[in-house]
Amino acid sequence: MELLFFFVYNGISMALFEQRMKLPFATRRRKQPYSPQTTPRTPLTSWMLLVIFTAVFAGWLAFRRVWQPSIFDYFPNFSQEVLPILELTGALTLLVLWFILWWYRFNSDELTQKPTMTVEQLYALSPFEFEEYVGQIFQKRGYKVQLRGKSGDMGVDIEVRRPTGKKAVVQCKRYKHTVGPETIRELYGTLIHERASHAFLVTTAEISDAAQQWAKGKPMTLIDGKTLVKIATSLDHE
């Protein structure tokens, strides 16, 4: 019984974890197209699954080694000799899975995919969620994306690289008021400081004529809220 428990436990935990993480040796499923008429079910995250498996394993160890129920005295000697090895295997399996999850979390370039939103919905996002949304659009257009939005980011919310390797910087402004030329001048200074080949300003608001005029002739692209929605919509239909 004990042997069966550990074989089933390790097999299920590894199989479910591989499926959630989509590792190279896991079976991949085709992505289902997003439909705005249906709300997809939210599956257990990899973190939740691993926490559950760890809690079950810890509960088993507490049950067997702390409480030490007398039922184990009736088990064959063979199972009592093999059980510590299986427990060690289970512990090592969990350690490996935690390491894989940690590595995947800090090395994955994949962003959480969000559906196309209106300008009002975009403004309702948190600053970080808006940066993720913009990063997702650049990723769909073939750029390699690195989110940099945090304290001390030097005015760069997202760093993107073209397939050729050229670096560009993106500044995200989740504004309601019109963006003026002073914001564009600051972004141009960031472009020079970062030694980037291009700079993008992406905002939920409108961009003033003076700001657009100031950016003319410079390696800068200004994207207002309406344009951002159009770009996202066109990418979803490709």
The CATH number that applies at residue 213 is 3.40.1350.10
Q: Which domain holds residue 213?
A: 119-236
Spell out the residues 6+ positions from residue 51 whose beta carbon is closer than 8 angstroms to its own.
none
pLDDT tens for 166-203 read: 999 999 999 999 999 999 999 999 999 999 999 999 99
User: What does the pLDDT average to over 59-78?
Assistant: 70
Residue 54 lies in a domain: yes
Q: Tell whether 165 and 206 lie within a shared domain.
A: yes
Determine what percent of the chain is predicted with pLDDT higher than 90.
43
Q: Tell whether 87 and 134 lie within a shared domain.
A: no
- Number of structural domains found in the chain: 2
pLDDT above 80 for 46: no
Residue 161 lies in a domain: yes
- Neighbour count for residue 226 (Cβ, 10 Å): 13
pTM of the model: 0.56
pLDDT tens for 106-142 read: 555 455 566 778 999 999 999 999 999 999 999 999 9
Residues in the chain: 238
pLDDT above 80 for 145: yes
Which of 182, 181, 157 lies closest to 168, judged by CA? 157
Q: Note whether 170 and 203 are within 8 A (CB).
A: no
Q: Report, in this order, helix, strand and coil percent for the chain, each rounded to 5.
A: 55, 10, 35
